[in-house]
Amino acid sequence: MNEPYVRTALAQAALEFAPPLIRKTLLEESDFRKEYDFEVKPVLSFGVSGVSVQRSILFEAVRKVLTGKLVKAVTDTDGQKWKLKNISAEEELPKFVLSRGKQRFVLPYFAALSPDSTTRLRFLEKVTSDVNLPSSSQEAWRNVLAERSLEDDEIDSFHRELRDTPIAKAQSILRQVQDGQIGISSLVPTSRRYYERLVGVYSGSTSIGDYAASSGRTLFAQLSTWRPYDGFLLSLLLSSHSSITAEINIDHMDSEDFLRVFDLLDKHGDRTSQLGAIEVGLYILSSRPEIEPGLIRLIEQIRDDDIDRQASGFKLLSALFLLVDGELSRTRLFSAEPPFYRRLVALSQAALIHRQLLNSGIDIEKFCEWSFNIRYEQYCMQSLTDMRIEPRWNPNLAMASQIKADYFGRIMIAAKNFEGNINGKLSNLVLGIGPGSLHSLSKFPLPYFPGPLEGAEEAPNILPSVISEAIETQLDAVEVGPSSFIALVNSALIFRVSSDQAELAADALKLGNYRLTNVEDRSQLLATLNGLATVAAVARSRALADELRILIRRYRSGAQYALSIEEIIRICLVAAASRADLNDWRDFTGDWLTELAFGYLEDDEGEVFHSHLQCLCHAVPDLWVSCGRADAALRSYIASWHPG
């Protein structure tokens, strides 16, 4: 059994059953290949040209040219002959071109194969600075290149290091979009190392504020030291929360750099970076008054973005966030971190993609439709399960209209914080109440709902006594209907609602015999049920969640306002956030979903339900413990519905 060929055969058989990503990752590791005696002959392809060359052949030709040969012949995988030549000037770093007739390809990053250590180290300094490779990685490669040139496998590792940087990824996305070859794997890479370089390393923070003051501050300091202008632009990609923009380092920025940034963002800026620049701009306005015109233009651009038009920046941002967050959920890359960190990654990557798409000429409307559809279900189910940890944010709050309202709220809050810096036209825009002001165009309370990184934070506002009295009065009414819960439901995401108030609502449902009177229409009923589920979640009220479950049973198959299985699943998952403990949450969710799975289903509800269940259990595998029977029941239902 210890014979080498046996071990190789067993490893080969195991790889056949491994997921493609794991198989690819293992085969890329030279130590793994050596241990199991795998011989691979990697092939390098040149874009969409269809031209491919065996890696070992090309690298050997590069080495020959670097030792002084002017031109070296290279044979591609189709047997065609190509010429490899170094076209750099005498004092320049080597630059290679592969040509055949009129076809010509410029080859990057191969000076690391040079026999001259000075050339190798000059090359390393340039390329790592261009992409802002972390100093620890630079040092590791510098130690190797000071001694020798890279081996073939090391070249691949080196290139992956460079690709795993925000600068290189942005360039790659733009090229692929322009070539019409973009796919979800290009937009949302599976490298954890890449995302840690984009937003910083997670180090145990329990809130976005703590994270901003630790990892965020460290990242921004490094970016500003690297290149103030480019570093500021990269920092702004993380502007999905005001605590992050407050930490952005601007010590090395001069007035010219600020003006360049505001001009760029006005013409080609993603919405996230524009908001970050506005918050930073309001903070520094008193010392940098020259940025005011650019600041006004950015605010007006956000104000005037029509979410119903085809090229809406908010619509694109929403679609991209859903795409990235859903894909991160599918790959489970950050399943061990709190939801706010994964969402920070998703929002920052969405901003990076957004910025590239604006320069690509792509059909934004079609791209939004594709982005929204491809991962929406996984995004939605993941976000609903996240509510156990961060109950104040739900997936509906990522729609374009709410993102725009959230941006309005952040700008108005920042303006109030730096009111002394503001006057004239800018004051009318961000502090005034006249026509065209943000306040006049805001619909209360939407600008003050929690943002995607605030789901774990307690509501900042104490419930006013007048609203508290209104809640008690409404819940004490003789008839229990939608109007009984208006004050409570409308306060849930704005003010601190106590478990005592939630339990008053639970008592009202019991006293009303689990029936709501004076329901005007189906939409009012749904709004009430979803609102009560939200109250149960934010107040962590197990009692209200339990009573709501009984109420839902009455309406599941009601003749007048029958609820769909999808609507009930959403209510169930929101109400389940009343349980913060994983086991309690798992049991409550599993029991309710199992009850639904064994209940009445019609048409394609079984398939919809089963698809949602698969996404839920992928997001939180612990759910299989309590949802196994539901899965079996749904499979049986689907089989009976499609007997073929």
Evaluate whether residue 223 is within a structural domain.
Answer: yes
Task: State the pLDDT confidence band at 40, using cuts at 50, 70 and 90.
Answer: low
Helix (H) or strand (E) holding 322: helix 313-331
**351: β partners:** none
Q: Name the pLDDT band for 380 (thresholds 50, 70, 90).
A: very high
Show which of 270, 303, 336 is a domain's final residue: 303
d(CA 299, CA 275): 8
**Element (DSSP H or E) covering residue 43:** strand 43-45
In a domain, 591, yes or no: yes
Does one domain contain both 526 and 554? yes
Backbone angles phi, psi at 5, to 5 degrees: -70, -30
**More confidently predicted of 44 and 490:** 490
Predicted confidence at residue 119, as pLDDT, reads 93
User: Is the Cα dihedral 66, 67, 72, 74 positive or negative?
Assistant: negative
C-alpha 288/C-alpha 265 separation (Å) is: 17
Q: Is the pLDDT score of 27 beyond 90?
A: no
Confidence at 13, pLDDT banded by 50, 70, 90: low
Q: Report the chain's mean pLDDT, rounded to a whole number.
A: 91
Q: Is residue 449 part of a domain?
A: no
The answer to whether residue 98 is domain-embedded is yes
573 shares a domain with 484: yes
Residue 73 sits in the same domain as residue 22: no
| Last-in-domain residue among 241, 275, 303 | 303
pLDDT at 623 over 50: yes
Q: Looking at the structure, do residues 554 and 579 belong to the same domain, yes or no? A: yes
Residue 187 forms part of a structural domain: no
- 636 contacts 604 by C-beta, under 8 angstroms: no
Neighbours of 369 (CB within 10 A): 12
32 and 52 fall within a common domain: no
Query: Would you place residue 49 in the very low, low, confident or very high pLDDT band (cuts 50, 70, 90)?
Result: confident
Residue 69: pLDDT band (50, 70, 90) is confident
State whether 529 and 608 are in the same domain: yes
Separation between Cα atoms, residue 113 and residue 329, nearest integer Å = 39
Confidence of residue 607 (pLDDT cuts 50, 70, 90): very high
Give the type of residue at 72: K
Q: Are both 34 and 52 inside the same structural domain?
A: no
Instruction: Inform me whether the pLDDT recorded for 298 exceeds 90.
Output: yes
What's the pLDDT band for 606 if we cut at 50, 70, 90?
A: very high
How far is Cα 278 from Cα 608, in angstroms, rounded to an integer?
43
Residue that is last in its domain, among 242, 277, 303? 303
Instruction: Give buried/exposed letters for 445-484 (b at 16+ CB in 10 A, else e).
Output: ebbbbbbbbbbbbebeeebeeebbebbeebbeeeebbbbb
pLDDT at 558 > cutoff 90: no
Provide the token pair at 211: 């994270």
Is residue 526 predicted with pLDDT exceeding 60? yes
| pTM for the full predicted model | 0.91
Greatest mean pLDDT among 94-98, 333-337, 554-558: 333-337
Whether residue 271 is predicted with pLDDT greater than 90 in this model: the reply is yes
pLDDT-based confidence at 562, cuts 50/70/90?
A: confident
Percent of the chain residues past pLDDT 70, beyond the cut? 93
Does 430 reside within a domain?
Answer: no
User: What domain range includes position 228?
Assistant: 201-303
| Range from 103-117, 426-440, 623-637 carrying the lowest mean pLDDT | 103-117
15 has a pLDDT exceeding 90: no
- Confidence check: pLDDT of 6 > 90: no
Planar angle of CA 368, 371, 377, nearest 5 degrees: 130
Q: Are residues 135 and 269 in the same domain?
A: no
Q: Please tell me whether residues 72 and 20 are part of one structural domain.
A: no
- 161-214 confidence digits (pLDDT tens): 999 999 999 999 998 888 777 889 999 999 999 999 999 999 999 999 999 999
Is a pLDDT exceeding 50 seen at residue 1? no
Number of domains into which the chain is organized: 5
Does residue 80 share a domain with residue 157?
A: no
Which two structure tokens, joined as six digits, stand for 205? Answer: 């923070």
Check whether residue 636 and residue 492 sit in a common domain. yes
Please tell me whether residues 28 and 56 are part of one structural domain.
no
Q: Specify the DSSP element, H or E, that contains 98.
A: strand 96-100
Residue 29 located in a structural domain: yes
Within a domain: 415: no
> In Å, how far are 238, 409, 454 from 208, measured between CA atoms?
11, 18, 7
Q: Which pLDDT score, from 0 to 100, does residue 358 have?
A: 86
The confidence score (pLDDT) of residue 53 equals 92
